[in-house]
Amino acid sequence: MAKDRAHTRYVCQECGAVSPRWMGRCPSCERFNTMVEERIQDRTSNQSAAANTAGRPPLAVKEVSGERVERLRTGIDEVDRVLGGGIVPGGFMLLGGDPGIGKSTLLLQLAGSVGASEPVIYITAEESLEQIRIRAERLGAMPKNLFVMAEDRIEVIEETLADARFKLAIVDSLQTVYNPEMESAPGSVSQVREVASRLMRVAKAHLPIFLVGHVNKEGSLRPVA
């Protein structure tokens, strides 16, 4: 059906090139059989990346409210400094780095610190809840307000984070969370784009998010696959 067609595109799993129709060979990187179908979702206004400002006409910059935004302090001084004094509402922060460098450890420590005063949720798509608990014990990061969840489906994560009770979320990681309705594997170009854009919308609409991202040998956040 023509209507369905308009909602499908093909994405090269090697280089990320996009084409409206399937091709055996990617026109960009020239590799074979790398194009995978991806459904394009309708963008309604409440899904917009700028959900809280959608539909407003352009403003002169000096007319934009100059009230200082309230920042959520992480309680880890070095992190607060990097963030310019703390986490801003709608903040979407990607923590990249090689495997084993300490991303999960740092963010669990941070979650423990924030959780001493505000409700925080740490969502892992990489480890078991038992592993997280053992690490939390070792770090002394076990406040009552730190919640943990082992989940890798993006829609379940979205639903959980739309609940207004959390002030901060950690999602570990970009390459292991996925949309099961898409054909491509977790960590592929299509999935990484999908997950990043959906979590960004959640961040703008609901609560700041720290997202863990694996970095490849070239130092870019390209897919693991």
Ligand X SMILES: Nc1ncnc2c1ncn2[C@@H]1O[C@H](COP(=O)(O)OP(=O)(O)O)[C@@H](O)[C@H]1O
Note the residues at the interface with Mg ion (CB under 5 A). 104
**Dist. CA 211–CA 209, nearest whole Å:** 6
Please, is 20 exposed, middle or buried when counting C-beta atoms within 10 Å of its C-beta (0-12, 13-18, 19+)?
A: exposed
Q: Which residue has the tokens 């459904």?
A: 39
Nearer Cβ to ligand X (5/138): 138
Task: Note the residues at the interface with ligand X (CB under 6 A).
Answer: 97, 99-105, 138
> From Zn ion, ligand X, Mg ion, none, which one binds at residue 17 (CB under 5 to 8 Å depending on kind)?
Zn ion
- Which among 21-29, 71-79, 149-157, 201-209 is the span making contact with Zn ion, rule CB under 5 A? 21-29
Nearer Cβ to ligand X (109/190): 109
Q: Would you count residue 26 as binding Zn ion (CB under 5 A)?
A: yes
Rule CB under 5 A: choose which of 15, 18, 116, 185 binds Zn ion. Answer: 15
Nearer Cβ to Zn ion (23/54): 23
Residue 25 to residues 28, 143, 182, 190: CA-CA distances in angstroms?
9, 53, 21, 17
Q: Would you count residue 18 as binding Zn ion (CB under 5 A)?
A: no
CA-nearest of 141, 224, 149, 139 to 187 is: 224
**Dist. CA 146–CA 82, nearest whole Å:** 23
CA-nearest of 225, 214, 219 to 96 is: 214
Q: How far is the CB of 12 from ligand X (least distance, A)?
A: 28
Residues of the shown chain interacting with Zn ion in the complex, contacts defined by CB under 5 A:
12, 14-15, 17, 26, 28-29
